[in-house]
Structure 1
Amino acid sequence: MSKSPAYEELVIVVNQLQQRVSELEGLPPVLQQLKEKNDLLEKQSDLLEKRNDQLEKKAELLEEKAELLQRENDILKDKLAKYENPKNSNNSSVPPSKDENRPFKSKSLRKKTGRKPGGQKGHEGTTLKMVSDPNEIIDHAPEYCECCGKDIVSIPGEFVERK
């Protein structure tokens, strides 16, 4: 029985593969150790990535919880302030003069300028000037005497001075 050419080719390929396997199995032990170490590091990296994802999710949850607690704390502080300082002029019939944080009467709310009070030097005052021909004349004559209470409407008055 003769062997077919395909069979002979397969035998040659198998021999070549066996030779290559024996070469690879003969790798130096250093390379084998590095390969094992690399596999171990890849596994550790995968574990650390999973752990990092878990910690990030936990951090997000904690941040949300902190925000909720901060809002609740602000609300409770507002409620507590109402009880610590219960009455003032805004929420009761207590007059504004009894409010705690009000300025004293002797203290002005204006900022000090350093000038003396009153009209300043060089300032021209304005006054209502008397005109010789007024639009309307109003007579202010008393109807009774301030001393005795007698009716003096019918008694003619006399001109004393013009002011």
Structure 2
Amino acid sequence: MHPDSRPDSIEQLVVVVAQLQAEVQRLRADNEQVRAENAVLRAENADLRRRLGMNSSNSSVPPSSDGLVRPRAQAGAKAGGRRRGKQPGASGLTLRLAEDPDRVVQHRPQRCAGLSCGADLGDGREYGRQRRQVLELPDRRPVVVEHQLISVECGECGQVSEPA
């Protein structure tokens, strides 16, 4: 007898009730099994998510296993509330040129830098001079070397040439 059809007698009702009780028992057992599988899968999922988030910065995993994906830059402030480097509003510092360098090296172009000229600039008029100083640290006392870049105007074509 199908459970949806109306039983005609008490005996048929007893049979239907017995069938329904058996089905309830089977469904409860299935439900328990599904719940157990669900718990195992949730634990496995949590473990995989934890391992997926591991890299060399938060575990003992070597950096070579991080892969080619670069970590996302952390937006905004660090732990102290400030970004790296000079803070906005802080005064800047500049290394000033030494008035009396230990050595002066002059860099002067020998030939005109004009595309079609290339004339000798040995006696050409000086057009300008830039000063750049490099601090070279010897064993004990620093030696200041001033490099002077001399721009020279070509006497033939008027092209201003600068040293490289």
Structure with greater strand share of residues: 2
Greater relative contact order, per chain length (Cα 8 Å cut-off, separation 6+): 2
Larger Rg belongs to: 1
TM-score normalised over the length of structure 2: 0.32
Higher helix share: 1
